[in-house]
Structure 1
Amino acid sequence: MKKNEILTIRPANEISIIFLLISIVFFLSAIGVTVSMIRGLLSGNIVSLLLLLLVVFGIWMALHFLIIAITPKIRLFCDYIEITHWKYYLPYDGRDHGLPKLPKSIVTTIRYDEFKMFGVFYAKDIKNYLRKKSGLLSNQWMTIMSTPLPLPIKQPKVISELRQVLLFITSDVESTVVDTSPYGQNQIEFLLFELGKHTNILSSGRVEPKSHVNCYILDVLKSIVVILFITVLPISTIWLEGVFNPSHTPSYESIWRTVYVSSFFFANLCLSGIISTSRDSQDLEARRFGMIFKISTFTFYAVFVISFILSIIT
């Protein structure tokens, strides 16, 4: 820990945990293949070269997922904030690909007395500002500035325009855009709360600052619970089916079993979508996506119930 460091926020949401788990799986797979390769070399097996390539590929993939999972972080010190983020906002800028380069990160340092504005916005807020000079970002920027000074900012490359981004603007009108996806919602709210205390500036954007217990282990455990709810809970219904119909063992094959497990999985995904979009009930697009998620959730849960019953009785 550096001198005068107050707080460190590390990735702890579901995506980061999944990437970390995937990297561990690839590392373990590489070890297993290495053992097989050594045995093959001792026995003169001609597939040893292929096994060697698999080891290299496994280690490379593990490094990729590990870097993506643990590289981003935000550190608060007594006088400044230090943000480690991707050079191109995302791990790759769209022109690059994963072969053979590893993701590039940079460190941005901003003193608290240099802040002019900060907050969480949608990617579409930046798009509306750049194309139309309108929308939430434009309105809040004009409110803060006494003169119509243009904001130099680049449109982040994202799949969804409802993707949340952290925007930091300094007094010399320099902007930094950071992806929020590695962090949990509580972490972002707590960061805004702490920044508000150090800068004496009220955060802008779509997320309200809130004080939370800053415990990395607790944040990771919450994410693991969400992952288990989405993935493991649907699979566990296979054993529940066996309770109602003892002849249907876990190895029992049925199209209805495939349907109800899949529908339960997608229903849980849609339910998480409802939770994420409900945080901003004022945005029309978020409300529209929220309604789509609600209809999809109800449909998938209905399919789950029907197919689960059919799987039991057939």
Structure 2
Amino acid sequence: MNELEIFQELKNRILNSYRDFYPYFQGDWKNFSSKDIRQLIELIEENQKETVSEKWIYTHLKSETNEKLPRKDLLDIFSKFVGVSSWEEFAYQERLKTTQPRVSKKSKKNTNKKKFRKRYFLVLLIPIIGFTVYEWAIHLNKKTILIKNEITKQPVQESEVEVYHLTNDSKKKLKMENSRVEIPNTSDKISIESPYFEEQEIQLSSTVEEIYIKPEDYALVLKRFIESDWDDWEVRKEKLNKILSEDLEVILFLKDELGAEHLNKKEFSEKLILPTQETKKMKILTIETNANKEITFIRIQKS
């Protein structure tokens, strides 16, 4: 088994590990979208504290065949992502699978009979009970918290906030589903971060079931502008002029790591006054406001 064949197996294992976090993805690398790529990059950053570019994933993982092996440091990163310490260990394990001697059916059948005679019902039952108790204990040791908009009292969208579990020496992103986040009971503090809501750290108690976060009104208005199809361009222009500061600075990151554009208030407003399908694909990463709540800085990713 050569190294390129082993790399193909690593690619399969990467998809399996990705499904552990996003089980609804059931495709292959051909179906791996730009959204999946960004989510995979985030998982690598959170779990490995390493950085991988979208271009590298397009070049080495999404391609159906590979003519040469990628750099070893990237192979090490993805080997760790699938639960192995390094690329060398992963390659060793894969070669070991192909060199293990085969056992004849007759010999294997006799061996299985001998093992079966030695087993007792209690021996089979113990691990089942142990696993059930373990799962039950984990469930009891967690609590679910609903996150709501402080003004509207409505649940916030998963795409609008990120929640992190804070400990003395780490910060781990928690998964949100249906506006709820599951938090270990041992967690004493969480951080809620968002371009659209005031960021805050919250000290938890056993009685907390809902958390209310205060919206950044102008940021949410801007988000609706990007996503909407309003026909009245004069109304859009008037409202944009109100929420955007005169000294606005916008950094627009281009897709596929092709660089970034710097826009001022006039240039950015022109893109939103008459929106296009390209405008709707913009994702707000960061927003900063001044004392008057006017937006002074925006960082946007173009997908």
TM-score band w.r.t. shorter chain: under 0.3
- Name the structure with the higher strand share: 2
Structure possessing the higher relative contact order (Cα contacts under 8 Å, 6 or more residues apart): 1
**Normalized per residue, which structure has more helix?**
1
| Higher alpha-carbon Rg | 2
